[in-house]
Structure 1
Amino acid sequence: MSPMPAADAPVALSFQVHAYPLALRLVSALLQVLMTADILCASALIVVGTFTGAMNPRPPALAGWLALSALALFGLTRLIRWLTAATFSVEPSQFVLERRGDRFELPVTSVESARVWRLPLPGAGLSLRMKSGRDFQYALQVADPLPVLQAMGTEVEHPLTAFEHARATVIRRRWYGLALKFVLFPLVPAVIMFQLNQRITYGGPFAQYQMYGLGPYLWSFFTYWTYFTALLVLFASIWRVLAELVAFTGAWLSPRSARGVRRFVEIASAVLYYGGFCSLVAWKFLQ
């Protein structure tokens, strides 16, 4: 049996990270940019090109291909995340990176500084600057750089650190949150507009089904749901850009207030997304 460590013995702190060589980080960042561009382009095509006066409107075929492309790019980003999974440990005399069977031990005295990524792609992270003047060969992606920097005894007052810490601790993204936002919520306007179309065009809520069958009826509903999902993706993107700008400005002006500012912009974004869209739809109906 191995001896128990002394009560006052220092304990190594370990963090789950993703360790990227420079080339792979660039590839992953590019994939994320392309995936986002695909989603936004597909959404714009659907909003602009679905209802063009045709009797049976359909989303543009190109939008479907862009959506499939975005799904493939998402799969590649997940594969890269799996390949780069690593553990970064802060020990009293060294930093240890363990990555897919490789172990790198960096003496504390050989590391000059740790710098938060100026451009958070493919996510938030930090790079280790060695006293030789070069960066360590692996850059570390971590959702919240602050605990890592604190464990390393590095300067943590930089506005970017405060911004990323607030983002990681305030925003709790879950799959069911995204499902509510982009799957279930679009059903509300989709059902309303679909039923209005059924009554005006075919004479009743199930008239299209009775005349043409279940397939065309479901496809018509799918078209309305797709349209409003795409519209809400674009709507949410506008508020997200504004929210990030406000949160970053708040963190830059007052790093200590970064979490409060982030909490405010997330609540405001949710209110504007759900309440604002409902208000726009109601205003459109009352015109």
Structure 2
Amino acid sequence: MHAADASAAPSVEGRAVAPSFQVHAYAPVPRILGAVLQVLIVADLLYLSQLIVFDTFTGALNPTPPALSGWLALLALVLFGFLQLLRWFSAATFSVEPERFVLDRRGDRFEIPLSSVASLQIWRVPLPGAGLSLRMKSGRTFQYSPQVSDPLPLLEALGRHNPELSATAHPSLAAFAHARAVIVRRRWYHLAFKFVLFPLLPAGVMFRANQYITYGGAFGQYQMYGLGPYLQSLGTYWTVFTAVLVLLAALWRVPSELIAFIGAWLSPPRARGVRRFVEVANAVLYYVGFPALMAARFFL
């Protein structure tokens, strides 16, 4: 998740506490840099995956992924490190008070009257994440744009004190971002299961079949060549099937996001339902459809 949702606004001694949001406040250039880094990371991983899938099994007795794949993996890690560093520098707190909003960003504090804000615009391109820009009545855009995974609570907080502001944000874009933030709650262990543990299932099946076909038994390679080549062969199958699943997940994600966006555009109140349908369909295709397709291809 790119940024946390709003904290609760309890009362302290009868006084309401201003809602506060943990955001990433981007100036235009750092935001563009963050978007570019995200695009480069995705492109690098997709190229890495297709390289592994199509150039690993080339007829060699003990195939291994191409040497270039290691450098591409290292490049992805370096780019990800830069992206995390950029997000760390941009971390900020956005608080909405009755007559102003306050942005605290790494020692800088901005207190802007709500009356000086002319309009709010949800980012049409949600990179490096969902967020919004504040157009001032002076005609200029506020120098920092808050990126928050779910902009809807922030819009509602601003709208409570200035109803004109909530009306300026595009409802379909806000509904799309809100549905994604609420339904898609990925954690690191979700990704670890999806792209580290789950690929072991098809990899193990194919690795075992290869051991019987090539070496005459489940541990034939181990008995003939030792533990090192045996584990290297298993690792190769795991790497290849991880790459296959990365490509399939990316392929399915494109129409899924398009369907979710169209649903939010046509009917913002139904955006969450459409998003839930899309994510369930994705999970079924990934965890059930791919194994079923693999079984049909190799065992029927």
Q: TM-score, normalised by structure 2?
A: 0.91
Distance in 1 of aligned mates of 2:12 and 2:265: 43
Distance in 2 of aligned mates of 1:195 and 1:15: 51
Say yes or no: does 1:20 pair with 2:26: yes
1:227-252 Cα offsets, whole Å, 9 max, x none, are 00000000111111111011000000
Distance in 1 of aligned mates of 2:179 and 2:205: 38
Say yes or no: does 1:94 pair with 2:97: no
One-letter amino acid matched to 2:183: V
Distance in 2 of aligned mates of 1:56 and 1:256: 55
Q: 1:51 aligns with which of 53, 57, 60?
A: 57
Distance in 2 of aligned mates of 1:225 and 1:52: 16
One-letter amino acid matched to 1:102: D
SS in 2 for 1:57: coil
Q: 2:182 aligns with which of 169, 189, 193?
A: 169
Query: How far did 1:81 drift?
Result: 0.9
Q: Which runs of 4 or more aligned residues in structure 1 lie more than 4 Å from their structure 2 counterparts after TM superposition?
A: none
Say yes or no: does 1:216 pair with 2:222: no
Please tell me whether the aligned partners of residues 43 and 233 of structure 1 are also in contact (alpha carbons under 8 angstroms). Answer: yes
Distance in 1 of aligned mates of 2:99 and 2:17: 11
Query: How far did 1:157 drift?
Result: 5.8
Say yes or no: does 1:249 pair with 2:255: no
Alignment of 1:65-214 (within 5 A): 65-153=71-159, 154-155=166-167, 158-214=171-227
Query: How far did 1:56 drift?
Result: 1.1
* Residues 276-285 or 35-44, more deviating: 276-285
1:51-70 Cα offsets, whole Å, 9 max, x none, are 11111111111112111111
Equivalent residue for 2:246?
233
1:51-109 Cα offsets, whole Å, 9 max, x none, are 11111111111112111111111111111111110000111111110000100010111
* Residues 203-212 or 270-279, more deviating: 203-212
One-letter amino acid matched to 2:158: M
Q: Percent identity?
A: 66
Distance in 2 of aligned mates of 1:124 and 1:203: 54
SS in 1 for 2:111: strand
Query: How far did 1:6 drift?
Result: 6.1
Query: How far did 1:286 drift?
Result: 3.5
Equivalent residue for 2:3?
none
Distance in 2 of aligned mates of 1:187 and 1:10: 52
Query: How far did 1:29 drift?
Result: 0.6
Gaps of 5+ in 2: 1-10, 160-165
Aligned length: 283
SS in 2 for 1:164: helix
Please tell me whether the aligned partners of residues 159 and 252 of structure 1 are also in contact (alpha carbons under 8 angstroms). Answer: yes
Please tell me whether the aligned partners of residues 167 and 262 of structure 1 are also in contact (alpha carbons under 8 angstroms). Answer: yes
Equivalent residue for 2:290?
277
SS in 2 for 1:222: helix
Please tell me whether the aligned partners of residues 159 and 255 of structure 1 are also in contact (alpha carbons under 8 angstroms). Answer: yes
Please tell me whether the aligned partners of residues 157 and 255 of structure 1 are also in contact (alpha carbons under 8 angstroms). Answer: no
Distance in 1 of aligned mates of 2:240 and 2:207: 11
Distance in 2 of aligned mates of 1:126 and 1:103: 19
SS in 2 for 1:104: strand
One-letter amino acid matched to 1:275: V
Q: CA RMSD in A?
A: 1.4
Distance in 2 of aligned mates of 1:224 and 1:86: 43
* Residues 202-211 or 99-108, more deviating: 202-211
Distance in 2 of aligned mates of 1:244 and 1:176: 22
